[in-house]
């Protein structure tokens, strides 16, 4: 699918004749300062201060021959987002393989230590606050480089603050002439202030993009890019027997085809900081449903509520109609703990209640094992599709942004995704479920052929990453690996290795 240009937000429309000229005090207070923009200004000031310290020779840490390379990973960790955790786990494995354990020290930022406990072995976990500029100012200079690791790296769809954090960390590294890399990134529509911030602070960074439309977005901002892939392709889940056991414990008879649906709330994004809502929430318990964490709140409106209701009903209509035709066992999977709300809102609409598998209860190893035991998938989660593909699970997407669109197009199935607001979605899902069931073998074969392409791109990312390390630090000892994409992949799980041997 061709890249769409990033469209700047329109200026507010002029008030209609007769409309009230005076806004309420509440609205005027809310509009006085855009918290996202204030966060970007604060982050830019911290980067400038870091640059001044560098000019004055006050750097806290510089790499020198004989030292291990110290890297700080910045991303969306500590929220029990299965996709984010899986891709970071594999990114760490690849970087360790390419650079070498004896030449590397890594730390990762987590927003809640107990939710990332047991993950990312050999990597130090650093708890970072929701208001992060001071934290980055104090911590980024302790490392020789920053690697931003969230897939939705440069976009305002979910939270401009998250992109500000990752771009800010990369900008800190650039200010000290250190390694600054975005790994397996995607770029999309950004607010004008975020776009300007990214353009200003990421000059000099290298972004390894997981699709060509993302490269086009960043090219317009003057940021260096190369082609890459998501890193979740090489993940090894718990044994398939573990996923089957969990399904049986949830009521599966071991024979019926398993349909997995991965719903989300597509309409309560983006998350934005709101100081007045935060005060009202703290003092009076208001905005409980909208509250994300700290001073951040989900989008909420009557229109968004109606859209969400229509989306859930379309999912239910498609599943219910298909269940009347085929004897299936349905499960609902929440790939992020936030998705529990969507799963619990969808379940009462189903004629036969589904079993729930939510990431706040099941770790990433178990959850992906469950997905690979399924026979059909309808997902609004990108990484549910990605992590099921090495298991050859026939899948279709219902998407809120470009990620699933790009994935389905790249794998040769541009007719197997729908928009969350698409007309006639329920009927289209029924036809798609019939196709997933009827043409399962052919679809699985096409999926199997698509995975090696992603592995080649991921292997090339390893080459490009090491080239960038040596560009920034010419004396760094490059590990003696053949300059081939295969040699720059981490050790592959048996299922992935078989796909590569069959279709590679």
**CB burial string 132-168: b at 16+ within 10 A, e below:** bbebbbebbbebbbbbbbbbbbbbbbbbbbbbbbbbb
**Is 502's pLDDT higher than 50?**
yes
pLDDT at 95: 98
CB atoms under 10 Å from CB of 360, counted, come to: 13
Eight-class DSSP state of 390:
G
Specify if 412 maps to a domain. yes
Provide φ and ψ at 9, rounded to 5°: -65, 140
With respect to residue 465, please indicate whether it lies within any of the assigned structural domains.
no
**pTM for this prediction:** 0.88
Residue 10 in this model has a pLDDT that exceeds 60: no
248-265 pLDDT per residue, tens: 999 999 999 999 999 999
Single residue among 438, 457, 480 that ends a domain in this structure: 438
Per-residue pLDDT of 315-348, as tens digits, reads 999 999 999 999 999 999 999 999 999 999 999 9
pLDDT in tens, 349-392: 999 999 999 999 999 999 999 999 999 999 999 999 999 999 99
> How many Å separate Cα 278 from the centre of its chain?
26
Looking from the CA of 502 toward its CB, the CA atoms found within 13 Å total 15
pLDDT at 183 over 90: yes
User: What's the pLDDT tens digit per position in 26-68?
Assistant: 544 444 568 889 999 999 999 999 999 999 988 779 999 999 9
Looking at per-residue pLDDT, the higher value among 242 and 28 belongs to 242
CA distance 171 to 166: 9
Looking up residue 421, the CATH number of its domain turns out to be 3.40.50.2000
- Residue 158: which pLDDT band, with cuts at 50, 70 and 90? confident
Sheet-wide strand order for 296-297: 272-273, 296-297, 291-293
Q: Which residue has the higher pLDDT, 117 or 320?
A: 320
Beta-carbon-side half-sphere exposure of residue 165 (alpha carbons within 13 Å): 24
With 60 as the cut, is the pLDDT of residue 22 above it?
Answer: no
Per the structure, the complete domain to which residue 69 belongs is given by 31-228
CA distance 228 to 270: 26
Alpha carbon distance 225, 202 (integer Å): 11
The residue with tokens 């329920």 is 426
Co-location of 98 and 168 in the same domain: yes
Residue 15: predicted pLDDT: 43
**Are 224 and 257 in a shared domain?**
no
Give the residue-averaged pLDDT of 301-327: 96
Report the number of distinct structural domains present in the chain: 2
State the DSSP H helix or E strand holding residue 207, giving kind and residue range, or none if neither: strand 206-209
CATH number assigned to the domain comprising residue 129: 3.40.50.720
What is the C-alpha to C-alpha distance for residues 454 and 410, in angstroms, rounded to an integer? Answer: 9
Q: Where are the alpha helices (DSSP H) in 233-352?
A: 240-249, 275-284, 302-325, 340-346
Tell me if 198 is assigned to some domain: yes
d(CA 189, CA 155) in angstroms, rounded, equals 5
| The pLDDT value given to residue 8 | 36
**Mean pLDDT over residues 446-463, rounded?**
96
Indicate whether 335 and 260 sit together in one domain: yes
279 & 329 share domain: yes
Q: Given this model, what pLDDT does residue 298 score?
A: 74
What percentage of the chain carries pLDDT values higher than 90? 79
């Amino acid at each position: 699918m061709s890249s769409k240009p990033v469209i700047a937000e329109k200026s507010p429309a002029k008030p209609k004749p007769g409309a009230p000229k005076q806004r309420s005090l509440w609205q005027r207070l809310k509009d006085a300062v855009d918290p996202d923009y204030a966060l970007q200004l604060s982050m830019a000031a911290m980067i400038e201060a870091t640059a001044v310290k560098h000019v004055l020779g006050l750097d806290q840490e510089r790499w020198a021959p004989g030292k291990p390379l110290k890297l700080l990973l910045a991303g969306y960790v500590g929220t029990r987002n299965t996709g984010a955790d899986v891709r970071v786990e594999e990114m760490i494995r690849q970087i360790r393989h390419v650079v070498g354990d004896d030449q590397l020290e890594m730390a990762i930022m987590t927003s809640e230590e107990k939710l990332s406990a047991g993950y990312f072995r050999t990597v130090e976990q650093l708890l970072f606050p929701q208001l992060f500029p001071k934290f980055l100012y104090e911590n980024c200079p302790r490392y020789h480089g920053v690697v931003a690791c969230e897939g939705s790296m440069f976009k305002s769809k979910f939270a401009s603050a998250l992109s500000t954090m990752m771009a800010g960390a990369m900008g800190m590294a650039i200010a000290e002439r250190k390694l600054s890399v975005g790994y397996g990134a995607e770029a999309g529509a950004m607010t004008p202030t975020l776009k300007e911030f990214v353009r200003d602070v990421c000059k000099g960074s290298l972004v390894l993009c997981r699709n060509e439309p993302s490269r086009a977005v960043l090219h317009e901002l003057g940021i260096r890019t190369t082609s890459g892939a998501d890193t979740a392709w090489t993940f090894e889940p718990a044994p398939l027997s573990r996923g089957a056991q969990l399904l049986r414990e949830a009521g599966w008879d071991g024979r019926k085809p398993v349909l997995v649906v991965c719903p989300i709330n597509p309409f309560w994004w983006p998350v934005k900081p709101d100081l007045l809502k935060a005060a009202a929430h703290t003092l009076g318990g208001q905005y409980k449903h909208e509250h994300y964490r700290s001073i951040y709140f989900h989008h909420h409106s009557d229109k968004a509520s109606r859209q969400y209701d229509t989306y859930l009903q379309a999912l239910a209509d498609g599943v219910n109609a298909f269940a009347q035709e085929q004897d299936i066992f349905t499960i609902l999977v929440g790939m992020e703990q936030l998705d529990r709300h969507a799963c619990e809102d969808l379940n009462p609409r189903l004629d036969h209640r589904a079993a729930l598998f939510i990431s706040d209860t099941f770790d990433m190893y178990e959850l992906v094992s469950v997905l690979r035991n399924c026979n059909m998938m309808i997902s609004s989660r990108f990484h549910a599709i990605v992590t099921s593909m090495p298991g050859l699970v026939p899948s279709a997407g219902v998407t809120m942004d470009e990620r699933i669109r790009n994935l389905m197009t790249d794998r040769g199935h541009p007719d197997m995704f729908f928009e969350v607001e698409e007309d006639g979605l329920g009927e289209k899902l029924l036809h798609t479920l019939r196709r997933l069931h009827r043409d399962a073998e052919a679809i699985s074969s096409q999926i199997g052929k698509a995975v090696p392409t992603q592995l080649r791109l991921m292997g090339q990312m390893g080459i490009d990453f090491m080239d960038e390390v040596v560009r920034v630090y010419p004396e760094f000892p490059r590990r003696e690996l053949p300059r081939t994409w295969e040699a720059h992949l981490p050790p592959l799980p048996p299922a992935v290795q078989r796909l590569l041997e069959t279709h590679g």
